Amino acid sequence: MTILVGHRGARGEVPENTLPSFMHVQQLGIRHVELDLHLSRDGQLMVIHDPDLRRTTGRHGRVDHWHSSELTQLDARRNGPPCAQPCPIPTLEQLVLACDFDHWQWEVKSASRKRSQQLVQAIKQLHDSHKLHGKVTITSSSRSVLRAAQQLAPEIPRGFVAERAWLEPIKVAKRYDCALLVLNHKLCSPARLRHAKQQGLHVSVWTVNHAKDMRRLASMGVDSLITDFPGLAIATLQQG
């Protein structure tokens, strides 16, 4: 069975990376989610995709220039699907306390060496304090992030986010002892999928939003499928 993973919660159905989005996924019965992390000015892990606030809140400035108490007061409904209630930016801790998923993909975007280390250390602290062992994978397309995770939190599984074939995604994933290959669905050929599985990698494909692609990739045998539309994915895969 292909596992369904809610992308940024349910990005296409409820405003992304907000508590209502993840609660929607939970209500659908999906037990796996993906989200994005940045640090606030006071070192809190904030659940937001972009390094700045403009796209989802309409406010100016970088996430790391704002205090977490300020960020959690901002409404992140801008440019998302309609939602009647305000959708604040959550801290990761708020989200973990509110939702109990079987598995989380925590994606960290590109960062400097120092910033990568700060992010990984914050993740490790939260991961350990909330006893999330076996429930989290740190994912990134950044070598500096994967290297920091490998060195500072080796007990937390890692995943390489691969968008371009010329980077030899399977080799990169193995170089950083990744358990997950988070593969752009356009790169997921039967041969690459077979090779990745032979290397012991769980293959999670993103972002799969059309029913025909969902059916094709599930029949190909991908391990998990990341989608903005988990409701559509459930209905599509139930139909076979």
Say what the pLDDT of residue 65 is. 98
- Over range 187-199, report the average pLDDT: 97
Say what the pLDDT of residue 138 is. 98
- Please provide the average confidence, as pLDDT, over all residues in the chain: 97
Q: Return phi, psi of residue 193, to 5°.
A: -60, -45
Helices 230-239, 211-220: axis angle to 10 degrees equals: 60
Inform me whether the pLDDT recorded for 240 exceeds 70.
no
- Distance from the Cα of residue 185 to its chain's centroid: 15
pLDDT digits (tens, 9 = 90+) for 156-179: 999 999 998 877 999 999 999 999
Higher pLDDT, 166 or 124: 124
- Over range 171-196, report the average pLDDT: 97
Inform me whether the pLDDT recorded for 106 exceeds 90.
yes
pLDDT digits (tens, 9 = 90+) for 3-37: 999 999 999 999 999 999 999 999 999 999 999 99
Token pair, residue 232, equals 């559509």
What global pTM score does this model have?
A: 0.97
At residue 20, the 3 state secondary structure works out as helix
